[in-house]
Structure 1
Amino acid sequence: MAQTEISPAVQPHNNNPAPYPNATEADAGTPMEEPKKRNPLLFIILAVVLLAGGFYGWTRYQFAQAHESTDDAQVEGDVYPILPRVGGPVLEVKVQDNQPVKKGDVLATLDPADYQQRVNAAEAALAAAEAQVVAARAAVGTAQATARTAQTTIGVSEASRAKLQKDLQRSTFLREQDIIPQSEYDAVQANLRATSAQRATATDQVGVARQQVAAAQQQVAVAQAIVKQRQADLDNAKLQLSYTTLLAPGNGIVSKKNVQPGQVVAPGQQLMGLVASEKTWIVANFKETQLENMKVGQPVKVEVDAYPHQEFEGHIESLSAATGARFALLPPDNASGNFVKVTQRVPVKIALDKVDPQHPLRAGMSVNAIVAVK
């Protein structure tokens, strides 16, 4: 019996036979996957972060309500300009940049030859004026002696006149009796007239002598005034001579020296600066909107950029009476042109409570000032 061939068209085609002939059995034999459980540590960390951030924000808010701060602040100190009061060539410079000096130390000297010559001339003029005083006083003595002599002459003339008047009375009686000759009687009359004339002359001499005494006393006064003037000239010459030595006005550190020996300087020319090392303070420029609760005496915490890990304590010493713009070279004039409102800043002076030798503050350093206003 012949085999029956199966046509390829009707043969079953299964290139990918299923691993499980029966799908129901496969599903029944495989367990179901459970949903993943979330780690609670993540929620705890997130909660802690949120709480910490909220607490930090709340504390910063509370801090901002009770404090005012600005970084527009710097260290200030006294800076003495060293200016010559007289001109001349520089003879010697005794200091260098950044050298500490004490009050009264010699910084530089100018050539004193010209000024010494002026002192010598003033001394000679003073000596001449004092000699004139002596001469004027001698003239006063001479005039007074002349006046006394004239006064004595008047006294002698008075005595002679009195005697001659008595002689004339006797001579008149004797002449009437024809006891004495006429010539003797005439001689007595002539002596009396001469004595009277001498008395008048002596009186005039007394007046002239008194005028001479007054004039001599005036000359003494003039000579004494000249002496005072010459003394003032001498003092001024010595003062000018003293200006040839430039002294340190206080304790400090030499800065910005720009003078050398042999240089000819003029009065008022700045030769160097002297930064005082005894006291420094802080000038903080707060906005005008920050001054509502700011008062003198409030504590201040100062953070210096040069010492980031060091804090300085201070207090408000004073507040400026005007904004910083009012002291500008060209202060703003809001009455002209277009007006643009700009928040102004007011300088506030902050004094440090104590000085830290380990962390010296230098003028010009940038700082951050925080004021406790509440």
Structure 2
Amino acid sequence: MTEQEKNTGAAEKTGKEGIKASNPLRLVIMAVAVLGALIWGGSKIWHSFLYVETDNAQIEGDIYPVISRIPGRVDKVLTTDNQKVAKGDTLVLLDPVDYEVRRDMASAALENARASVAAAGEAALAAAATGQKLGADLRRSENLRRQDVISPSEFDAVKAGALSSSAQHAAAESQRKAAAAQLKMREAELRNAELQLSYTAITAPADGHVSKKNVQPGQYVAPGQQLIALVGSRKLWVVANFKETQLENLRPGQKVSIRVDAYPEKEFEGEVESISSGTGARFALLPPDNASGNFVKVAQRVPVRILFTGKPDNERKLAAGMNVVVEVRVK
């Protein structure tokens, strides 16, 4: 046997011994892998019995539209995008000149109405005094006429004067009431003018952050036009759209684990507040009508409102519209 054949035989023998030695190690690795897979799969199955999960969920918040109640030209914009504001802060100023003129005109009209009321009141008092005097003259004339001291024509003249004075007094009272009504109208006009002037300062309806600013100085705005979208900062919640097949054991008050895509390492605590009475498709702009055409059964999504219950995390800012994954413990 040559030296080469000896080396070849030795190598084959060594290889066979290596394969025999590696078989137990391979079996152990395979056993560990299978056991791990079984444990992992079992934990997932057990988890599915205890929890229902969906990634069709987003953070929601109150969005307040900041609108103009009057037409006008924008004079100043006192806020910027993403700025935090408090309720009552002035955000936009409209040009107040036109409304100041209207207020001054209404104020002058009110003063004129007050003067008219005073004049009408004096006229009514004068007519009342004249009526009292002529009434007394009429009573004396009646006594004198019964005594035949005055002639019928003199009595008729006194009686006509008394009747005329009574009519004048009634007319003066009507004018006084009309002037008083005119005064109330002028007061209302002044209040309305002052109110319109106050609307030139557009303020924040709630605490929050400016999220969408659609106004610039010099722009002309119309009543009802949205200038700014303000996202409320006091309260955020999650709307999770669960499949209808997941709702069997879902109840208000159940604990929820919330994972935000922006902060995957952080888990937030929550609680189911309520379950919608209608599916998301039912409230769509064009809801499906399965009564016409061919019916295709599709699993519907039902919105579930979830509140954050844990302590606020000031380091991780949550914003409306963020995607989240929620897990509700149902058992």
Task: Calculate the TM-score normalised by the size of structure 1.
Answer: 0.78
Instruction: Report the CA distance between 1:44 and its aligned residue.
Output: 3.6
Check conservation: 2:141, 2:150, Cα contact below 8 A: no
Task: Calculate the TM-score normalised by the size of structure 2.
Answer: 0.88
The residue matched to 1:192 in structure 2 has which SS? Answer: coil
% identical aligned pairs: 50
* 1:331-346 matches, cutoff 5 A: 331-346=287-302
For these two proteins, the number of residue pairs brought into alignment is 316
Describe the superposition over 1:327-374 as per-residue Cα deviations: whole angstroms up to 9, x where unpaired.
Answer: 222111122222222211111111100322121210110000111122
Change in 2 beyond 3 A, CA 1:72/1:227: same
**2:40 equivalent in structure 1:** 56
Cα distance in 1, alignment partners of residues 176 and 252 from structure 2: 63
Between 134-143 and 360-369, the greater mean CA deviation after superposition: 134-143
**2:103 equivalent in structure 1:** 119
Cα distance in 2, alignment partners of residues 193 and 105 from structure 1: 82
Cα distance in 2, alignment partners of residues 106 and 257 from structure 1: 14
Structure 2: gaps (5+ residues): 3-15
Instruction: Report the CA distance between 1:197 and its aligned residue.
Output: 4.7
The residue matched to 1:351 in structure 2 has which SS? Answer: strand
Instruction: Report the CA distance between 1:97 and its aligned residue.
Output: 1.3
Q: Which has the larger radius of gyration?
A: 1
The residue matched to 2:103 in structure 1 has which SS? Answer: helix
Q: Which has the higher strand share?
A: 2
Between 49-58 and 72-81, the greater mean CA deviation after superposition: 49-58
Amino acid at match of 1:325: A
**1:149 equivalent in structure 2:** 133
The residue matched to 2:259 in structure 1 has which SS? Answer: strand
**1:170 equivalent in structure 2:** none
**1:85 equivalent in structure 2:** 69
1:248 aligns to 2:243 (yes or no): no
Describe the superposition over 1:20-64 as per-residue Cα deviations: whole angstroms up to 9, x where unpaired.
Answer: xxxxxxxxxxxxx99946654443443333233222222211211
Amino acid at match of 1:77: G
1:134 aligns to 2:134 (yes or no): no
Instruction: Report the CA distance between 1:135 and its aligned residue.
Output: 1.8
Amino acid at match of 1:360: K
Structure 1: gaps (5+ residues): 1-17, 20-32, 166-190
Cα distance in 1, alignment partners of residues 160 and 268 from structure 2: 92
Cα distance in 1, alignment partners of residues 200 and 76 from structure 2: 11
**1:359 equivalent in structure 2:** 316
Instruction: Report the CA distance between 1:91 and its aligned residue.
Output: 0.8
RMSD, aligned CA: 2.3
Q: 2:234 aligns with which of 257, 264, 278?
A: 278
Describe the superposition over 1:243-292 as per-residue Cα deviations: whole angstroms up to 9, x where unpaired.
Answer: 11111111111122232212222222222221212211111111111112
Amino acid at match of 1:86: I
1:315 aligns to 2:299 (yes or no): no
